[in-house]
Structures are given as structure tokens and as C-alpha cells.
Chains A and B, each alone.
Chain A
Amino acid sequence: MLKGGVIMDVVTADQAKIAEDAGAVAVMALERVPADIRAQGGVARMSDPDMIDSIVAAVTIPVMAKARIGHFVEARVLQSLGVDYIDESEVLTPADEAHHIDKWAFTVPFVCGATNLGEALRRINEGAAMIRSKGEAGTGNVIEATRHMRSIRGEIRRLSTMDETELFSAAKELRAPYELVAEVAEAGKLPVVLFTAGGIATPADAAMMMQLGAEGVFVGSGIFKAGNPAQRAAAIVQATTFHDDPDVIAKVSRGLGEAMVGINVSELPDSERYATRGW
């Protein structure tokens, strides 16, 4: 049960222990955090099974791992390794330019990124058990995650005001099945949990995302690319719980040291924007 919690990217067993001690509800095991993938370039793939095993062995909280978009064999391998969730992630280099993984064919649950409601519903239709905003991973810049959260939540609110006829055309516009669209319109929320990810670097970033309607937070490069990761990780966990209490956020934001160096997303060429990956 991950709701209201923080999931942290880790690349070693030691980092996984730090994350668990800080109060993470799960860790994402990967070889390079997005900021390094961005800096080093090349094809980013599923992590080494030995490395995933070492992290699974190091902690008692759930472990997630990433497969490339459309790479159903990487996903099979991760399932056989016994990870608790698979992230079909745009942070890795896509393996299929038209198809995502058929997630119904797996017993392990999947989390998928989305930039808007249509994308979220297509992933849910393919079997995703959890949606996260894509944001722009590895930038330490929250602007894209904000855009995606506002877009998803805003479109859900818009559906709630529609009549039957309008829902049919909305389903067409969203490129999503009518039944799913009608369900979201009725409930006023996605049928799965909605987390946020991509560029969260500070306790205040995490709290803002929770106030924008996220049910939990992924922090990628923001923790272990900053000074004093243990303290920053604990601070982000506390700010997520008390996202509506500025006094608590102020208290935990003190003395955290350097945050990760950020990147202005507007200066990124399209080819380096991960959020455009996925269809």
C-alpha cells in the first residue's frame, strides 16, 4: 500500500538502505539515475539482474524496476526476478515505437507515465495498476510534472460535467475506451492510483504535487544527486505527509544543503525530452 508515500530511485544496496531508513514506501532499483542517463547519453536499458537482486536483498520495503517502453521481454525478466512493480518507463530508451507492453499478460503490477488523461487511460486499458505523471526526469525542474498533474486532474474535472453524448466524443478525443472514460467521469478520479514523478527535488516540490492531487511521489535524481541525501529523503517524506502544513515544510526544509543542479526544460531540445516518449 504505497498511497501517501515516497518512492525513491536508488542505484546501490547502500542507497536503498538510506531510502528505507528515511521512510520511503518503496525503492526503484536502476543502474543510473535519470540525471546521469541524461549526462552520459547512449541507450538506457533494464538494469543488471545482480544489481536488482542486491537491492531486493537489502530492504524489506517493495522494490520496483524499470523496463523499456514496449520491451515485454525485459518485463518478463523483471517479473521472474520477483520485483514488486515494473515501471514501463520513458526514462529508458523506448524499444517499440508504436506499442506499449500488454500488461494484462503479467501477474506483477505495472506503473506507467502519462502527460495527460488520454495517455493515462490508454495505459490503464493496457493493464497499468498505477499511473504517474511523466514530468521531465533528471532535470530537477518541476514544471513539467506540474503541467501533467494539472492536465490530468483538469481533464477529469471536465469529464465530470459532461452528458452522455459529450462523453462519446470525449472518448474519441482522448483516444481511450468509452467505458473507461465514463467510469472516470462518474467517479471523478482515475480507477487506479495517481502518483507524480519527474523533476521533484525539494520537500516543497513534493508538497505542491500532493496539493495538485497526487496520491504519492516518485523522487528520482533529486535525492542522491543532492548534498546530504539521507536528510533530504527524510524531509521529502515528511513534507509529503504534511503537504498542507507550511510550518512543517519550513521546518524540514532547513539545513538540507545543496539541491541537485537543475536544468531549464525550455532549453532542452525535443530529442532530449523524455516526456515525449510513449504513445
Chain B
Amino acid sequence: MKSPTIGVLALQGDAREHLRRIESAGATGSPVRREAELATVDGLILPGGESTTIAKLLNRFELMESLRARIRAGLPVYGSCAGMILLADRILNAASDQDTVGGMDITVRRNAFGRQVESFENRVPMPAIGAAPFWAAFIRAPWVEQAGPRVEVLGRVSGGAADGRVVAVRQGALLATSFHPELTDDGRIHAFFVDMVREVVSGASAVRDPAGMPR
């Protein structure tokens, strides 16, 4: 199968690190800043950054509606940190007019772990990606305060002051983590997302191309 193309929204934040991780997970990475670029990707990463800034730029460059439409149509999207906030249907601790892309039935608290000085690294057991816990970097990170019935909790902080907080979730083709896997050495989250994208791509091509299906 042809390797899927995964876009990284490059309006603000650490797009470059995500692109590198996508490539090492065997997919093709491509920065996305325009509608035409969004139209060509099989999956998308919303990187860490300032969620307020990214949401404003999505609106100013008229990407917000097309992104929402593609998510409704089943585009696999992974949001890390600010990206988790953008995927949430509901946000706490934000300006009343902060816009969100939405799509995940979760309530996310912005800056939940505190300010910059409260940034930390911690263990997050995530059986979905393997037995060893993920060592995660949290920077002014959000957490998931409440999740709807269709949302699968993939990881919680283990140990420390924030023990038990939900920091990794999945709902269908949407994946979100509070932390920044592009900043630590473990490539398993990106590999997991690339697999999600491959699944959707192969499923879609099977439907579009019935001749290719076993008879």
C-alpha cells in the first residue's frame, strides 16, 4: 500500500518536530497552512502551540469550516496539547469567545496543570500503544475533565500530584493527548496515529474500489 500523507497544521507551534516523527513512522509528512493543502492529506496533526492563536488563524485564513467538514467526513486527526483543546467540543478556563474546531465529545480544561513553571514530565501507562508506559512532557498542558460515552480513555497520569488525570483519549478517527510526544524520544504515539490513518485509507479505498475486494 502507498504510504499515507499526513499533514501537520503549520499556522503556529512545533510543526517541524511532528513532520520528522511522521516520516520516521513511515508516512509522508506535509505542512498544512492553506485549504488546498488540507484537501490533499489523508490525516492531520494539530500540534502544540497556543490554542487561542491557532484558532484565530484558522478563522482568519478560512480553514476552520473546511477542517470541520473533513472531520465530519471521517478525516483522522491527532491533536497534541493545544491540538487537544482544538478538538474538544467544550473548553474550560478559556476566553468566552475562544473558538474550537470540535469533533470530540470531551470537556478540556486549558492550562489545567498550571503555568509554565508547573510544566513537568511524568509516566503515562497507555496499553493501546504497548506495555511500557509513555514518558510524557506536559507544558502548560490541558487535561480531559469529562468525556462522553463514545470516548475511549487511552491514558492517565500515573503518580505525582496529577495522578489519575485523563491525558490521552480516542473517539473513532480522532486522537488527542495533553502532552507533547514530538519532544521526547518515544515514537509510539506517532506510529499509533499513522496506523489509524492507514486503517481509514485502506477502508475507504476498499469501498471506492469494489473490484479490488475479494469476491
Contacts and interface: CB of A to CB of B under 8 A. Distances in A.
A145 to B, nearest CB: 20
A276 B22 CA distance: 43
B48 interface: yes
Contacts of A213: none
Interface string B2-42: 00000000111111000000000000000001000000000
Interface string B183-204: 0000000000000000000000
A62 interface: yes
Contacts, number: 84
Interface residues of A, number: 27
A93 B50 CA distance: 31
A168 interface: no
A200 to B, nearest CB: 17
A256 B85 CA distance: 32
The 3 closest A-B pairs by CB, nearest first: A84-B116, A1-B48, A25-B50
B117 A3 contact: no
A82 B53 CA distance: 22
Interface in B40-78: 47-50, 52-53, 56-57, 60-61
A108 B117 contact: yes
Contact of A1 (B49, B57, B60): B49
Contacts of B57: 23, 237-238, 241
Contacts of A241: 10-12, 33, 57
27 contacts: A1-B48, A1-B50, A1-B81, A1-B82, A1-B139, A3-B49, A4-B12, A5-B13, A5-B49, A20-B95, A22-B56, A23-B12, A23-B53, A24-B53, A25-B12, A60-B52, A61-B50, A62-B50, A62-B140, A82-B117, A84-B115, A84-B140, A85-B116, A234-B60, A237-B53, A238-B60, A242-B33
